[in-house]
Amino acid sequence: MSPPSREQLLQTAKLFIEAFNEFTPESVIRYCSPTCRHRIAPDTLKSAPQSNAEYAELIATMNTVMPAIHLRIVDEGEPIVDEVTRKAVLHLKSRSETAVDLYENEYVWILTMSEDGKSVDDVLEFVDSLYTSEEVPKLRKAIEEMAKK
């Protein structure tokens, strides 16, 4: 089988982002293969790899304080696509009104696609670690407070 085309990989990446923006437990894994792994980097954030089920559960929890998110490919950059390794590298920014405050983060996602290029086998998500280490504890505290109600 020949590798999927650049267009196929880019289409899957864009569909993945569109589905992610629906921000439901089901939508964020809609274009993921059954064995997809979701990883957050750098390692200093101490985030273990997650299965689809674990990632969907995380989103369900996040929805209690972050009901919506808008993730977009940064306008100045064109995604990097490697047909041989079936990878797409995306520079992204997010924006969300949360129960705590405005959440705006920046990422580089490396998506590895399936052999046919129609689903995502691996998500390696590099986040702004300083921003994340400051904001995520606030969100966790808000989630805990919501759970008490």
pTM of structure: 0.92
Compute, in degrees rounded to 10, the torsion defined by CA atoms 71, 77, 83, 86: -30
Q: Encode pLDDT of 65-116 as tens digits.
A: 999 999 999 977 789 999 999 999 999 999 999 988 999 999 999 999 999 9
Q: What is the pLDDT of residue 69?
A: 96
Look up the CATH number of domain 6-148: 3.10.450.50
Q: Residue holding tokens 């086998």?
A: 121
Structural domain boundaries in the chain: 6-148
Please, what is the Cα angle at 125 between 71 and 106, to 5 degrees? 45
Query: pLDDT for 25-64, tens place per residue?
Result: 999 999 999 999 999 999 999 999 999 999 999 999 999 9
Question: Which residues fall within 8 angstroms of residue 7, CB to CB, at 6 or more apart?
Answer: none
| Res. 131 pLDDT band, cuts 50 70 90 | confident
